[in-house]
Structure formats: structure tokens, C-alpha cells
Structure 1
Amino acid sequence: MTEKNLAGAFNENNAPFAKMMGVKMTHVAKDRLEGELVVTKDHCTVPDILHGGAIMAFADNMGGIGAFLNMQPGAMTTTIESKTNFLRGIPIGQTAKAITTPVNIGRTLQAWKTDIFREDGKLAAVVTQTQLVKVQKD
């Protein structure tokens, strides 16, 4: 993979669940990912704020893409641990913005951190996750 922004390619080929949620990648590189999610009624809990599960799914997709970009060809990845700190709500109609960076890139384990912000720039959630990487043998 080159170091150019791969956001367009990932918007076309993102995971079906991420597409259904409406995740839009704005920057995709091996060392930093950025994405957006417009908060709709379908993403919300009562009273009209982004559901915690939607936040976690958004971040999980971001970390999975980061892991994919940093794996050997033919390897597979899965999330084995995820922790979320919810700091502020994100109201319906706003765009949640995520920035994902690697904490550690190992051969078989990768750790990623995703910061999710509200439109006013305030941090709404911090998600850390661990991705298991398994190299497929012929």
C-alpha cells in the first residue's frame, strides 16, 4: 500500500455494516484514519443522542481498517478486546468525527485508539481496541 489517502477506495469497499451505518472515510493511511458519521434518528437512543453501540461500531470499523492496512498480505484480523469511555453525547443531526491512530503494531496483535468528537470539537468518546492478526498458511 502507498502512503496516499485511500479514503475513496474504502468508501467504495467498506464493510457492509459500516456502509449501512453511513460511515464515510475522509482520510485513510497506515498511521492515521479519519471518518465521519452523520447522526440520524436510526443511530440514536432516547433522547436523540448517538447510541453507545453505534459509537463502538463506528470505532471498531475504524480500528479494523487500520489493522488491515498494517497486516501482511493474506492475513486476517478480528477485534478481541474493546473498551469505550463515553464522555459526552452527540445529538441527532450532528456529524460525529473519528480519528484513529495506532497504539502498537505487532506481528500478531495490534492496539488502536479512536477519539470521537462532536461538531463543537469536544471529545465525546475514547475507544481502545486490540486486533488479533492471524497469518493464513497455505
Structure 2
Amino acid sequence: MIWKTTPTIDGLNQSGVNTAGDVLGIRFTEVGDDYLIATMPVDKNTVQPMRMLHGGVSCVLAETLGSVAGMLCVQNPGVDYVVGTEINASHLRGAPEGTVVTGKVTPVRVGRTIQVWNIDITDERGRLVCVSRLTCAVIKS
């Protein structure tokens, strides 16, 4: 297990109350030894005018997953923290309004000062909607 702080689904979802993720409906659903999974509805809060998932909102899901995973890996929880320094996203297919997308974050590198996370976002049929990579800096307080 890579987590320095043991995550629970309830704890992860509680930490997102009154945040952008809460407004967008992001909910953590699974914790593994080296991954987290969260879902997000494609609804009036997450679509662009053509009623498809907004690419920027895919980035919010990706950054939420990566940042939360990063915080679970810091050496001094409650003292050190992570900040996203770079995110990229390749949008591979649309996800229509009325569906749910699922994001899974896995580590590429979890270092003392830099972390890199991979985030795959899939539709209800398991097809890739977006692939993203988030780089985080670990800030020592």
C-alpha cells in the first residue's frame, strides 16, 4: 500500500464537502492499495452547450483524484501538502448528458518533492473518455 494516511470512502467524500468537487457531484467509490476511483455525473453542472461532458470538468475530476491521492502519500500528513503544478488531458470521446463517468488515479512516481499521477476517465461502458496526467509539488511546511 502506498498511502501514508489510510483512506476510507466516507473520509474521502467528507473531505470534499463544500468544494468544487461537491458541486460537480464527484464521489469516491473505491480505494485500492495504489489507486482511488471516483464517479461524476454528466449533468447540467458538468456539460458544455452541446450537452456533452465539458473537457475542463474532466480536468477538475482528474485534478481532484490526483491531488487527493497525493495528499494521502505525503510523509508528514497535516503538515506537508501537495499542489498541482501541471495537468494535461487528452479528450478521446464524448460523454453525453445523463450518463456517469468514472475516474481512476494511479501513481507514475511518488517522490518526496514531486509526484506524477495518471488518471483515466471512462464512460459507463468502460471506454476511455479522457486520459490525464497530473504533476504535483510536495510543499514542506
For normalisation by structure 1, the TM-score amounts to 0.92
How do 1:11-50 and structure 2 match up within 5 A? 11-14=13-16, 16-29=19-32, 31-50=34-53
Matched, 1:91 2:93: no
Q: Which runs of 5+ in 2 are unaligned?
A: none
Count of residue pairs brought into register by the alignment: 134
The Cα of 1:42 is off from its aligned counterpart by 2.1
Match of 1:121 among 97, 103, 126: 126
Distance 1:34 1:41 in 2: 22
For normalisation by structure 2, the TM-score amounts to 0.90
Structure with bigger strand share is 1
DSSP-derived class of the 1:40 partner:
coil
Distance 1:59 1:28 in 2: 16
Taking only aligned residues, the RMSD between alpha carbons, in angstroms, comes to 1.3
Identity within the alignment, %: 29
**Residues 6 and 29 of structure 1 are in contact (CA less than 8 Å); yes or no, is this contact kept in structure 2?**
no
DSSP-derived class of the 1:41 partner:
coil
**Residues 50 and 92 of structure 1 are in contact (CA less than 8 Å); yes or no, is this contact kept in structure 2?**
yes
The Cα of 1:28 is off from its aligned counterpart by 3.1
**Residues 7 and 28 of structure 1 are in contact (CA less than 8 Å); yes or no, is this contact kept in structure 2?**
yes
Distance 2:68 2:32 in 1: 9
Q: Could you say which residue in structure 2 is the equivalent of 1:51?
A: 54
Q: Could you say which residue in structure 1 is the equivalent of 2:74?
A: 71
Q: Which runs of 5+ in 1 are unaligned?
A: none
Structure with bigger helix share is 1
